[in-house]
Structure 1
Amino acid sequence: MAAARGGTRRPTGRPPLTEERKAEIRQEIARAAVDLFVTQGVTATTGEQIGAAVGVSARTVWRYFPSKESCVRPLFTAGIDLIAECLRRWRPGEPLEEVIDREFTADDRLLSVPDRSTVGALVRLTRTEPGLRAIWLQTYDEAEPAFARALATRAGLPADDLCPAIQAAMLNAALRAAVEHHAWHTTGTEPDPATAQARLTATMRSALAVVAEGLA
């Protein structure tokens, strides 16, 4: 076919996906992977099954994630940025657990799936699935520098200062321990998502209170 007059070619094919749409697809893949992992196990789940649940090809799944276990990363990382924001907004003299509690109530990004019990089931799977455990621990390993930068900004210290780095390590360990404690002691039969959320928030408040003195 001849080029359009003036030598300009008309665009063909589908328009490129926006970053927002790419993020949505990643979330859809993550949710489908979690559902399959919980119902039939990680070993029995294939990329083809994950893609079919979302309405995309396995090739598309692998374009977004290098492995089936890594498909759950968006659910594990959903709260990192929000918690960092909480730390930057943390006012002197304000209990940290109250800050986190307020943000949990106001913003649903911390657990970005409708069914909180599914997230608990996913965390429980990290006990027996080495691939998922690796992704879970890597998520917290990557969160720590973000927390340290936020704490340094709050304190007016250099980003590489040792004090906020140690505080971030304490906070990171407390958050992971709280989420795991909640998952290990939850059967997944909460009457409703709000109850599951309330119980998780209470557990995290308790953990943060333990380390609050060192973070003050």
Structure 2
Amino acid sequence: MTATHGRTGRPPLTEERKAQIRLEIARAAVGLFVEQGVAATTGEQIGRAVGVSARTVWRYFPSKESCVRPLLTAGIDAIAAALREWRPGRPLGETFARNLADERLVVGPEPTTVGALVRLTRTEPGLRAVWLQTYDEAEPAFARALAERAERAGLPADGLRPAIQAAMFNAALRAAVEQHAWRGTDTATDPAAVRAELAEALHAALAVVSEGLT
């Protein structure tokens, strides 16, 4: 009789657990980057801070700079959803005023950590590239949301209009986050206070472009 052997070893990680590991790596990377700079930080150090091997770090991310991406992309889907809910004739800032209670918006659930990261993008070219790439990749998602919103409302929805609207919104969002982060220096600031200040900066940025987003 031939014995059959089941699969041995650890069970595969769930997608939720993989996302959690990515976020843990991102937090650890930012902490090390702030403390000692990107150049002095190694994959081994990032992994050690999380309790995983450097091999695991590289399995999830192609470079140490890209480790921060989960902190930057956390709010894209929530922002797109808010754009779909934007009612015709209502200020866009009003829509976000209703939705900013959702901690995923703008900078995700960790505004102080993201603020520290954004400050680093002024002096670390590799992180700056990841930061800008994140916004470049978010823009089509915003354009699709605006096109869906226009279609439901019976507004003009040719390919160019939502694309331009998304570009304007994306630029305003990035400017608000950057200006807010670059003014700050205390990464231990209360997250609720940081979020309130950031919301104010976002409203100001949207007011600047509101005439072009109707």
Calculate the TM-score normalised by the size of structure 2: 0.92
Could you tell me which amino acid in structure 1 is paired with residue 52 of structure 2? V
Shift of the alpha carbon at 1:133? 0.3
- How far the C-alpha of 1:176 sits from its partner, in A, is 0.5
Is 1:146 the equivalent of 2:115? no
Residue matched to 1:186: 184
Task: Give 2:201's aligned residue.
Answer: 203
8 Å CA contact 1:96–1:212 kept in 2: the answer is yes
Q: Which runs of 4+ in 1 moved over 4 A?
A: 157-160
Contact 1:76–1:139 (CA<8 Å) still a contact in 2?
Answer: yes
For the residue of structure 1 that corresponds to 2:104, the secondary structure is: helix
**Bigger mean CA deviation after superposition, 185-194 or 17-26:** 185-194
* 2:161 is the alignment partner of 1:168: no
1:77-156 to structure 2, matched below 5 A, reads 77-105=73-101, 107-110=102-105, 111-114=107-110, 116-156=111-151
Amino acid of the structure 2 residue aligned with 1:14:
R
1:160 to 1:75, Cα distance in 2 relative to 1, 3 A: farther
Query: Across the two proteins, how many residue pairs are aligned to each other?
Result: 209
Give the superposition deviation at 1:190.
Answer: 6.5
Please give the alpha-carbon distance, in whole angstroms, between the structure 2 residues aligned to 1:61 and 1:189.
25
Give me the whole-angstrom Cα distance separating, in 2, the residues matched to 1:3 and 1:189.
59
- For the residues of structure 1 that align with 2:114 and 2:169, how far apart are their CA atoms? 21
CA distance in 2: counterparts of 1:19 and 1:190, whole angstroms: 31
1:15 aligned counterpart, secondary structure: coil
- Kept in 2: contact 1:50–1:58 (CA 8 A): yes
Identity fraction in percent: 74
User: Is the CA contact (8 Å cut-off) linking 2:115 and 2:187 kept in structure 1?
Assistant: no
Q: Distance in 2 between matches of 1:113 and 1:46?
A: 26
2 CA distance for matches of 1:206 and 1:78? 23
TM-score, structure 1 as length reference: 0.91
Q: Pick closer, same or farther for the CA change 1:52–1:193 going to 2, 3 Å.
A: same
| Distance in 2 between residues matched to 1:15 and 1:215, nearest whole Å | 49
Shift of the 31–191 alpha-carbon distance from structure 1 to 2, 3 Å rule, reads: closer
Local SS of the residue matching 2:100: helix
Q: CA deviation at 1:117?
A: 2.5
What 5-or-longer segments of structure 1 have no aligned partner? none
SS at match of 1:56: coil
The one-letter code sitting in structure 1 at the alignment partner of 2:161 is C
Structure 2 gaps of 5+ residues are none
State the Cα deviation string for residues 123-162 of structure 1 (Å, max 9, x = none).
Answer: 0110110000000000000011000000000001798710
Partners of 2:159 and 2:53 in 1: how far apart? 46
Alpha-carbon separation, structure 1, partners of 2:38 and 2:68: 11
Q: Which amino acid aligns with 2:170?
A: N
> In 2, Cα distance between the equivalents of 1:87 and 1:214?
15
